[in-house]
Structure 1
Amino acid sequence: MIKEVIVVEGRDDTVAVKRAVEADTIETGGSAINEATLRKIELAMERRGVIIFTDPDHAGERIRKIVAKRVPGCKHAFLREADATKAGDIGVENASPEAIREALERVRTEAPPEEEAAPARIDWEDLLEAGLIVHPRAAERRRFMGERLGIGYCNGKQFYKRLAIFRISREEFAGALAQLETKEAKNE
């Protein structure tokens, strides 16, 4: 049984999570998350902790931001887009039990706000040098790195923020970058 309460978008996501693991969920009702739901999430955080596990799409990211802003210190689980896509539909409900378990095993905890303000471990120049921004294949490279680091796919600015929020070390970053470069060298 997972100790934390898992925040998902809807009933189908709850069903998919419960097929994979024994856990309690709170459903946001999609992006129309209301005050009562946010209060439930706050209470869950106080009592058991919270894992935000939303769809790897724009709406899921919006919900993740709303909850994380209101309830600091949440843990985050990210599904790979490929694992969450079925017949063009993207969502937690489409993921296999194995993919859900893997995402929950790779959960990341946000840094406390005072640590977020500390100097970044990886700076903007590092992203530029790694070809994660201002590069013809930057989006593809960020997708790979996000999967390897367990922080999900996002645009360059959000990727930079997630590196800080989830306290990704230079060593973790360098290891994922080496995997990316090895993969690209094999494909050439």
Structure 2
Amino acid sequence: MKIREFIVVEGRDDTTAIQRAVEADTIETNGSAIGEAVIERIKHAQEKRGVIIFTDPDYPGQRIRNIVSERVPGCKHAFLTKEEALPKKGKGIGVEHASREAIRAALKAVQQEMEEEVDSNITAEDLIDAGLIGDAKSKLRREIIGKILKIGYTNGKQLHKRLKMFQISKETFAQAVVKMKEEEQKHC
């Protein structure tokens, strides 16, 4: 599998894992202290071939994703679940621990960020009604729906923004909520 776009990752171990799974060029941010030179390389890559942001499913990874996305509009996004990014043994979480299959699946399910947010007609009330915010099981439900929609895990505040950013329709959201409820039953 060959990837045309540059893949933005956090470090060298992520690059190694990506290149074991697919044929691709990467740009390493070297952690969350992204320098101006790295941002400029990512902007140039976006202009030439496009960019896929593929960071760890943790707070620092989300911070890097937000910084790059804010500074370089129109990026694509690939997501792993926390379970896919856990090491077989030891501590940590990251792209470098994911299997080749999980990396390939995440890259096949890439989401395109839209430069202008479009009203997806999904309201905060819809999120409450679905139990995605304001409920004891909201975190689990957001993990499940993030996996179903391939938009990654978000906290309550970020979910609505990400639904808009990826232009998830109300119909697609409703279908995902049905699947989420089925999955939730399996976890109980």
Which bin holds the TM-score, normalised by the shorter protein? over 0.9
C-alpha deviation, 1:185, in angstroms: 4.0
Q: Which runs of 5+ in 1 are unaligned?
A: none
Q: Secondary structure at the match of 2:45?
A: helix
2:119 alignment counterpart: 119
Task: Give % identity.
Answer: 56
**2:120 and 2:168 in contact (8 A); partners too:** no
C-alpha deviation, 1:119, in angstroms: 2.8
1:142 alignment counterpart: 142
1:53 alignment counterpart: 54
Equivalent in 92, 100, 104 of residue 101 of structure 1: 104
C-alpha deviation, 1:172, in angstroms: 1.6
Q: Which runs of 5+ in 2 are unaligned?
A: none
RMSD: 1.2
Distance 1:22 1:156, change over 3 A: same
2:152 alignment counterpart: 152
C-alpha deviation, 1:120, in angstroms: 3.4
Amino acid of the residue matched to residue 31 of structure 1? S
**2:78 and 2:111 in contact (8 A); partners too:** yes
Cα distance in 1, alignment partners of residues 183 and 8 from structure 2: 34
C-alpha deviation, 1:103, in angstroms: 0.5
C-alpha deviation, 1:183, in angstroms: 2.7
Distance 1:70 1:31, change over 3 A: same
Q: TM-score, normalised by structure 2?
A: 0.95
Cα distance in 2, alignment partners of residues 58 and 187 from structure 1: 24
